[in-house]
Amino acid sequence: MVSRSSSSRTSPERGTRDGNICEFYEIDGDQGSISGKFGSNGRVFTLSATGWSAVVEKIRVRFDSGAETLLLEMGQYYGTSLALEIMKYGIDYTKAINDLLQTAFYSGWGKFSVKGDLPNGKDISVIVSDCVFCHEPNMRKSSCNFLRGIIVVMAETLYGQPLKVSETRCIASGNDCCEFLLEDDP
Ligand SMILES: [Zn+2]
């Protein structure tokens, strides 16, 4: 059972200004492997933003109108594994939120903050500044469906109920940040 404390806004506590990435990851120079130390502590690897952009562009060419659904489902599958990894340690509600924000921050996804009625899962929005998923100049339209899939699964796991997540602002559409709004999915 997840315990919930009252907090209306939260953002990464460590690493926002002077954090050392080695606080979060352990790099094995002999094996060429990187493992997380915080939240999810399994092996990880990095992707370049340019490489990700090229993958998304190819998916769009290959799958046309189905591409955004595919990216959303990819995010949901990835988010499920991430959520299970974080939740299996029996962490409390506040720690779960902070772990998710820390994971996103130290994964280089951008700077995340969450606001709204966090204890009750109402009117929650997730704001991402400098989002890596629409970082490249060739991302001309809202392109964060992979991230939207991750967020919806994370939120549903935390709150134990179906939720809808819509991206109401996107850097790729000319906004200064990406914003995701969580709503009940009756
Ligand atoms: Zn976006």
Per-residue model confidence as pLDDT tens digits over 123-158: 899 999 999 998 776 556 667 999 999 999 988 888
Residue 100 neighbours by CB distance under 10 Å: 27
> SS3 helix, strand, coil % of the chain, rounded to 5?
40, 20, 35
8-20+49-184 carries CATH number 3.30.1380.20: yes
pLDDT band at 17 (very low <50, low <70, confident <90, very high): very low
Cα(45) to centroid(ligand 1), Å? 22
pLDDT digits (tens, 9 = 90+) for 152-176: 998 888 888 899 999 999 998 889 9
Distance, in Å, from the CA atom of 73 to the CA atom of 68, rounded to the nearest integer, reads: 9
Cα(91) to centroid(ligand 1), Å? 29
Cα(144) to centroid(ligand 1), Å? 4
pLDDT digits (tens, 9 = 90+) for 90-127: 656 677 777 778 778 888 999 999 999 888 888 899 99
Q: What is the pLDDT of residue 66?
A: 94
Where does residue 87 rank: exposed (0-12), middle (13-18), buried (19+ CB within 10 A)?
A: middle
Residue 56 neighbours by CB distance under 10 Å: 21
The more confident residue out of 179 and 186 is 179
Cα(64) to centroid(ligand 1), Å? 19
Q: Would you list the domain boundaries of the chain? A: 8-20+49-184
Is a pLDDT exceeding 70 seen at residue 178? yes
pLDDT band at 85 (very low <50, low <70, confident <90, very high): confident
pLDDT band at 14 (very low <50, low <70, confident <90, very high): very low
pLDDT band at 5 (very low <50, low <70, confident <90, very high): very low
Cα(174) to centroid(ligand 1), Å? 10
